[in-house]
Structure 1
Amino acid sequence: MNRRNFFKKAGAAGLGAAASTALAAPAIAQENPKITWRMTSSFSKSLDILFAASEDIATSVSEATDGNFTIQTFAAGEIVPGLQALDAVAADTVEMAHTCSYYYIGKDKAFALGTAVPFGLNARMMNSWLSIGGGTDMLNAFYADHGVFALPAGNTGAQMGGWYRKEIKTIDDMKGLKMRIAGIAGDVMSKVGVTPQQIAGPDVYAALEKGTIDATEFVGPYDDMKLGFQKVAKYYYYPAWWEGGPTVHAFFNKEKFEGLPKSYQRILTDACASANANMLARYDAKNAAALRELVGQGVQLRPFSSEILDACFKANQEVMADLSAKNANFKKLYDSQTAFKKEAYLWAQVAEYGFDTYMMIQQRQGTL
């Protein structure tokens, strides 16, 4: 081969490769732009499992993009109060929020269906309805009218029925009770004689201690113990029939989410799915030990009687029917969840319930 021709061709190839690299670099930069977002949470850092979900999302996104997409997390009150998180996203004050849809039923009662309604879906069913049953798409069609887009990003599992200063044996014992409980659950409680109170989280302990309220609900053993309710109320009831599987969402400013590169949208979606699974796993891991400790401190663990549950279920049916008659958004989402729930419980009682019931008996007998 002619030596001069060889180096001429090699030089041309090198220039071509360099040109190719030069052309590719801007394209890569454009596909993976440097972006910094802010996410406000509705939760304080002291509620570490709830707040951790927002941190999980931020960490996952940063690692998956080699630090090109950064999300700064802020606890409730650091940018806006916890119950204004969705408004901050809609107004583009922040790009995203980690919050509960049912905090915003003042805008439209249908927001409740994004988190939980009384006697609704449990955690597994809620996750299934959202991802497989079309729930996320239905919710986002509704959320779009408010300028936001949402993805599931946490679930606490079935919550506890709350703390009571006196024992509640019958439905009559609930009449006249002043209880910190809000939203649709408060509407149902009103029908059975309870006087619902809306009190901000930081003020609940003092209200219960002073007797301003007779009862309060929050989440479950791990979080409730942190808040110290066991020091001012002796009776701890279960289950929270109003929150069988409440979902926490990551809400995004719709325009900002849609303006992201498709790869970043996918990364955010996967990060939220991971946070969604992690929250439930953490509560499953932490609640048992916390419950044992609470009982060790003298807390009286009590189930709601069948009489109380039946009365509340009947009252809830009336509330749901009334809301469905008045609110088309609510009816559409509620009907979907109800149809899904009927099928889901058909299966759950066949295998899951039988297996879990047997294993729970073994646990009580100490044979595990």
Structure 2
Amino acid sequence: MIRLSAIAGLALFASLVAPAYAGAPTVIHVASTFPLSLPLFSEASGRLSAQVDSLTGGDVQLVFHVPGNLAPASSTVDRVATGELAAAWSTAGQFSSHDSAFELLSSIPFGPDTMEYMAWFLEGGGLTLSSELFASYGIHNVPCMVLPPEGAGWFSKEIRSINDLNGLRIRFFGLGGRVLARLGADVIQKSPGEIVDAMKKGEIEAAEYSLPSMDLTLGLQNVAKYYYFPGWHQPSTLYELYFNEATWRALTAKQQETIETVCAAVMRDSIGRAEIMQSDALEEIKRRGIKLRRWSPDLLLTFEATWAKVAEEEMAANPRFKQIYESYVRFRNQYGFWKRFSYLH
């Protein structure tokens, strides 16, 4: 017997992706994890929607929804996996409660810059491993955007030593958050739209989110005095479109190729666009009286050594984490030979 809840779920899914009648366009509703008003996210989602519509002659339409419209920001990818949603605009780390290996498919602490990450992901085996892992949850992933190093966080007080992290209530994403927790911080998860209010209410004392241009738009300069760099926890960050497997299979091969091609173009443009925006954003942040700080060499060495311990323990506990991390490390060792001889830094 089919439960009523299952019938309701199927009805919801049908409303999120379907032509209402033969010959009608396929409209795919995409739940975003990120506020679509933020720089880069707004541009990327707008271009994805417009160009897929244009190149398919209107046969496929991606309709992006702000967090909370179709689903809370924290559960967009989960609901794609269950079939409650047709698609999501997010990052793999948002699915890490199912498998810690997904964290590595967003960003790697003390890992690759944008160029190196893309080389490993697109040509060094990362995408194959990622696709296999997502497919085991009924999800088809399409890489769509990559961003340069994030800021390392906004703090109400200066961080002069590791002792200053002890008991610090901080919003921090991903594997970097696990490093800070190991060092005594109280790491609290907050969706992007919740961060500023949480700082105002004193629920957290510090937070990281993204690039200076996004942090500025989010309003973090209004709730903290110190902004730290470099973003050791996310030297580059990958963002993707996630489709429920049934949604993806229902598209024609040409429609699938069109989405992948548009995503590749958006990813290419995001690299240059993101880099050029940050100097102006930092200047504005500085004009607001925010004190820009770089982590001391001692703190960075402590972060890096702690990350190495976290990675070793996770590899021992999770074979898929070990498989993906070792794939990246092998690539980095090979790539490093070329990089040391060919680059000035």
- Cα–Cα, structure 1 residues 238 and 65, in superposed 2: closer, same or farther, change >3 Å? same
Distance 1:297 1:254, change over 3 A: same
Match of 1:68 among 59, 72, 81: 59
User: Structure 2: 5+ residue runs without aligned partners?
Assistant: 1-22
C-alpha distance in 2, partners of 1:88/1:231? 33
Q: Please list, as runs of the form range in 1=range in 2, the aligned pairs for 1:242-321 lying within 5 A after superposition.
A: 242-321=233-312
Are residues 169 and 343 of structure 1, via their aligned partners in 2, closer, same or farther at CA, if it must alter by over 3 Å? farther
Q: Secondary structure at the match of 1:48?
A: coil
In the other structure, the counterpart of 1:235 is: 226
- The residue type equivalent to 2:318 in the other structure is N
Residue number among 112, 115, 136 corresponding to 1:145 in the alignment: 136
Match of 2:197 in 1: 206
Deviation string, structure 1 residues 64-85 (Cα, Å, up to 9, x no partner): 1111222222121111112221
Percent of pairs identical after alignment? 27
Aligned partners of 1:97 and 1:167: how far apart in 2?
A: 37
2:39 corresponds to: 48
Provide structure 1 residue ranges, at least 5 long, that are not aligned to the other structure: 1-31, 355-368
Who wins on radius of gyration, i.e. which is larger? 1
In structure 2, C-alpha distance between the alignment counterparts of 1:55 and 1:94, rounded to whole Å: 20
Structure 2 distance, partners of 1:338, 1:104, is 22
Where in structure 2 are the equivalents of 1:209-228 lying within 5 Å? 209-228=200-219
Instruction: Show the 5 A alignment for 1:64-103.
Output: 64-103=55-94
Question: Partner amino acid for 1:242?
Answer: H
**If the length of structure 1 is used for normalisation, what is the TM-score?**
0.83
Aligned to 1:272, the other structure's residue is in SS state: helix
Q: What residue identity is the alignment partner of 2:106?
A: T
Q: CA deviation at 1:272?
A: 1.1
Distance 1:124 1:321 in 2: 25
Q: What SS does the corresponding residue of 1:268 show, helix, strand or coil?
A: helix
Q: Distance in 1 between matches of 2:99 and 2:144?
A: 21
Distance in 2 (CA, whole Å) between partners of 1:200 and 1:191 is: 22
CA displacement 1:287-337 (0-9 Å, x = unmatched): 110101111222111111111111111111111111111111111111111
Write out the 4+ residue segments of structure 1 that deviate beyond 4 Å after TM superposition. Answer: none
* Secondary structure of 1:190 counterpart: helix
Among 30, 34, 46, the alignment partner of 1:39 is 30
2:31–2:89: 8 Å Cα contact kept in structure 1? yes
1:139 is paired with a residue whose SS is helix
Q: 1:263-283: per-residue Cα shift (whole Å, max 9, x none)?
A: 111111101111222223222
Aligned to 1:159: 150
Contact 1:155–1:246 at 8 Å: present in 2 too? yes
Which structure has greater helix proportion?
Answer: 1
Distance 1:40 1:88 in 2: 9
Answer yes or no: is the 8 Å Cα contact 2:47–2:266 preserved in 1: yes
TM-score normalised to the size of structure 2?
0.88
Q: Deviations over 1:108-140 (max 9, x none)?
A: 111112101322222111211121112111111
SS of match in other structure, 2:242: strand
CA distance in 2, matches of 1:337, 1:240: 19
1:145-167 per-residue CA deviation (whole Å, 9 max, x = no partner) reads 10001111112211010111111
SS across alignment from 1:248: strand
SS state at 1:343 partner: helix
Alpha-carbon distance in 2 for matches of 1:210, 1:43: 22
Q: Would the aligned equivalents of 1:33 and 1:69 in 2 still touch at CA under 8 Å?
A: no
Cα deviation per residue 1:200-241 (whole Å; 9 max; x = unaligned)?
A: 333322332344322110102101111222222111111121
Number of residue-to-residue matches in the alignment: 323
Closer, same or farther: CA 255–180 of 1 in aligned 2, 3 Å: same
Distance (Å, rounded) in 2 between the aligned partners of 1:124 and 1:248: 15
- For 1:353 and 1:33, how far apart are their aligned partners in 2? 55
Query: Match for 1:109 among 100, 111, 124?
Result: 100
Matched-pair contact (CA < 8 Å) for 1:115–1:247? yes
CA–CA distance in 1 between the matches of 2:85 and 2:166?
43
Aligned partners of 1:136 and 1:151 also within 8 Å: no
RMSD between aligned residues = 1.9
Question: How far did residue 258 of structure 1 move?
Answer: 2.7
1:325-357 superposed Cα distances (whole Å, 9 cap, x missing partner): 111111111111122223334433444344xxx
Whole-Å separation in 2 of the counterparts to 1:222 and 1:202: 16
